[in-house]
Structure 1
Amino acid sequence: MLARLMEDVERWLAAAPVFLIALVVIVFAWMIGGWLSKRRALDRVGRHNPFLRDLARTTVRWAVTLIGVVIALEILNATAMVGAILGTAGVLGVALGFAFKDILENYLAGVLLSLRQPFSPRDLVEIDGNQGHVIALTSRATILMTLDGNHLRLPNALVFRSVALNYTRNPTRRFEFDVGIGVEEDLVHAQHVGIDALRTVPGVVDSPPPRALVMALGDSSVQMRYHGWVDQRSHDYLLVRSEAVRIVKEALDTENVDLPEPIYRLKLDGAGPTVSAVPGPAAPPSAAEAPSVERPKRPSGPPIDTRSTGDLTEQIDQEVRKRGGADLLDHNTPLE
């Protein structure tokens, strides 16, 4: 027993220099990988993308280290173990892939989004029905600030798969609203009145010009759709649209264009006569038959300031500063 133990010790001592050389090779490969990962050549790979730059550095370091491990196994005459190690790594990779599927999917989607740059910080976007201003893109999620001032984190995989609507990319944005016009009215006159009124709204641009379209015939009115274009760089979209609705309504009222309310005809089965068969004194006129009293028109108040207020701009800037540059979006990178 003791003799066999001594033989094992002697064998291990004889192999110690080889093990030491293999260990030195692995350590040397790790150091070489670290040195290569800090070269400026890799900075050009992700010049405007810190996430991609760090990924390239980590990949280079581990690739060189893996080469060192293979060389060390060759020195130890244990190349047969390489196949077993790779097989084990493959099985382990599949198991981890299923276990962390969502995390890996978001991570890879973050890499692709950082390369594509589909939007810029502070852009107003709508993704999968969620609307908000872009704050940052991280390795796992896209962070938005909704118009209510709330934080919204969307998984990168969802952002990558979904249809993204960017309201900021084109500075000019169209608004529209519908108005019911009386069926007896001159529709061409109503169109011109609305278009002339839209031209006076602060923030509505001259090109493309405002328009009015006859959309449909209703039961008691004709549906007229007015639309104009807003320069979002200087004016607020919602404020301009609100002011446009008000000014067009006042212009139609001034021109005595009928804006009828919905009219419904009710038919009651089995209802008795509405007038008594026995003659008698005339009933007093009902409220419906009484002559209507025209209310005096109130003077319009001062126009609403439609210039861009930037209600969320300061809050978004604060959030961007808090992140300290930890963002995969870059203004200097060409957008998709």
Structure 2
Amino acid sequence: MIRLLLVALVALTLTHAPAAAQETAQPTGTIGVEDSAERDAAIATRIRDILTELDGYEDVTVTVSSGIVTFRGTTLDAETANRLNDLSGRVEGVVAIRNEVSETTDVVRRLNPAWQRFEKRMSDLVAWSPLLLIAFSAFLVVVFLGVLLARFRQPWERLAPNAFIADIYRQLIRLAFVVAGIVVGLDILNATALLSTILGAAGIIGLAIGFAVKDTVENFIASVMLSIRQPFRPNDAVEINGDEGKVIRLTSRATILLSWDGNQIRIPNSTVFKSRIVNYSMNAERRFLFDIGIAPDADAALAVKVAQDTLAALPFTLKTPASDAWIDGIGDSTVTLRLIGWIDQRETSLLAARGEAIRLSLAALTEAGIDMPEPTYRLIGAGGEGFTDTPDRAAPTRGTETAQPAPRPAQAEALDVQAHAEHELEAIVDEERRDKNNEDLLTSDAPTE
């Protein structure tokens, strides 16, 4: 039963194509009333002569009866068999077409065209070999000239703002000469029409690669922009995306900082380009700020005057911009006094100057009789009565009738606040930069933002 079904399926498959071919491309027009054997023979002879001149119809037979053309046999493919309908429909006197041609399953016959095509291509390759060799040689000569031109230091380093951009110029020159070599080679082969196809494919591939390595491309573009408009110099103290330190170098991939702890911080250039950058070294003047609390009952005006005079008298603070002090706020048991001063950070350490300013300001306020704030406690009794307990500075001590006031400290002198630590960090950065194996895009003559 299964064998009969398979035979029926194969028979249906083999007869389907001729039936379809017979239904299409049938001759049109009026049909004559005369029937002639000589006319049928002439039609058959004409069709056989045509098929003899065409390839692929060696096994096709033609019979004509009453103007009806019948094709039998095999061809390499169904398309070749269907072309018989168009061909015979153009012969005068054909009334109808019965196409019973099927697709051959002979392995040798089906492989012969492929082998013939291979032989033809090999013969064409041999015939074109001298021209191909000349075209390839011309391509190599053009590429060699581009590589040789890109190897020169000038004029690329003169045109470029830094070595990184000069190297990009060299890469573009090499790429341009490669494209020129391809154009010359294709022109020798008279195949310049392929250039648009090659460029289109290269564009699609480049677009796909661009999406795949989007972050890398973004980082590369950021490196180019940072190298052209440099927002910092080597040894500048900067803050980038929350990281602080001194700039060591700018590479084609990352910006390298030396943190205040002596550690290296590598920040991708794409992050640097998009981040908020604070350059503390752009100006020599830098401000320090701190707060001091005084007692609520202290003379605030006197405290402000003493603070201003103390900051102005410090040997490391600048006259311009001038130091200043003011009342900044009030709390439960304190009045906040804010003090600011300016230093030349090239010579003075910011942290040391701020610490000395705090120490000397506290000493000056104490000497002027300005009391510091003390905690206040409110105690609630069982009856609801309350009272405030503040330590009494004038309360008598045990064993004495009156307490002696504490001695006022003498005016202290400022300690050394020179920027020794900063200079030591600068020496570390200079040592790092002396390593010639590491690239650096920072230059002293590049424009800054």
TM-score by length of 2: 0.66
Deviation sequence 1:39-98 (CA, Å, 0-9, x none)? 52222122x511111110111111111121122123323334323322322222222222
Q: Which has the bigger relative contact order, CA under 8 A and spacing at least 6? A: 1
Q: Which residue of structure 1 aligns with residue 382 of structure 2?
A: 272
Amino acid at match of 2:263: N
Identify if the C-alpha distance between structure 1 residues 82 and 266 changes in structure 2 by more than 3 Å, giving closer, same or farther.
farther
Larger Rg: 2
Q: Does residue 1:11 correspond to 2:124, yes or no?
A: yes
Q: Which of 180, 189, 197 lines up with 1:76 in the alignment?
A: 189
Q: Which residue of structure 2 aligns with residue 173 of structure 1?
A: 286
Paired with 1:6 and 1:97, the residues of 2 have a C-alpha distance of: 41
Deviation, 1:188, is: 2.1
Q: Which residue of structure 2 aligns with residue 238 of structure 1?
A: 351
Whether the aligned pair in 1 keeps the contact of 2:315 and 2:414 (CA below 8 Å) is no
Amino acid at match of 1:182: A
Q: Does residue 1:152 correspond to 2:262, yes or no?
A: no
Whether the aligned pair in 2 keeps the contact of 1:230 and 1:237 (CA below 8 Å) is yes
Q: Which residue of structure 1 aligns with residue 418 of structure 2?
A: 307
Whether the aligned pair in 2 keeps the contact of 1:22 and 1:75 (CA below 8 Å) is yes
121-130 or 220-229, larger mean C-alpha shift: 220-229
Deviation, 1:293, is: 7.1
Deviation, 1:216, is: 1.9
Identify if the C-alpha distance between structure 1 residues 170 and 264 changes in structure 2 by more than 3 Å, giving closer, same or farther.
farther
Q: Which residue of structure 2 aligns with residue 53 of structure 1?
A: 166
Identify if the C-alpha distance between structure 1 residues 126 and 248 changes in structure 2 by more than 3 Å, giving closer, same or farther.
same
72-81 or 197-206, larger mean C-alpha shift: 72-81
Q: Does residue 1:322 correspond to 2:435, yes or no?
A: yes
Q: Does residue 1:111 correspond to 2:224, yes or no?
A: yes
Deviation, 1:295, is: 5.4
Q: Which of 185, 207, 215 lines up with 1:102 in the alignment?
A: 215
Q: Which of 141, 159, 181 lines up with 2:254 in the alignment?
A: 141
Paired with 2:377 and 2:185, the residues of 1 have a C-alpha distance of: 90
Deviation, 1:308, is: 1.2
Give the secondary structure class of the aligned counterpart of 1:305. Answer: coil
Deviation sequence 1:217-245 (CA, Å, 0-9, x none)? 32222221111101011111111011000
Whether the aligned pair in 1 keeps the contact of 2:366 and 2:408 (CA below 8 Å) is no
Long gaps (5+) in structure 2: 1-111, 386-394, 398-402
Q: Which of 138, 155, 160 lines up with 1:41 in the alignment?
A: 155
Give the secondary structure class of the aligned counterpart of 1:311. Answer: helix
Give the secondary structure class of the aligned counterpart of 1:139. Answer: coil
Deviation sequence 1:139-182 (CA, Å, 0-9, x none)? 01000001111100011001000111110010000111111222
Amino acid at match of 2:158: R
TM-score by length of 1: 0.87
Paired with 2:308 and 2:186, the residues of 1 have a C-alpha distance of: 81
Amino-acid identity (%): 39
Deviation sequence 1:16-39 (CA, Å, 0-9, x none)? 122112101211111121233245
Amino acid at match of 1:33: G
Paired with 1:105 and 1:266, the residues of 2 have a C-alpha distance of: 65
Give the secondary structure class of the aligned counterpart of 2:199. Answer: helix
Identify if the C-alpha distance between structure 1 residues 301 and 228 changes in structure 2 by more than 3 Å, giving closer, same or farther.
closer
Whether the aligned pair in 2 keeps the contact of 1:201 and 1:243 (CA below 8 Å) is no
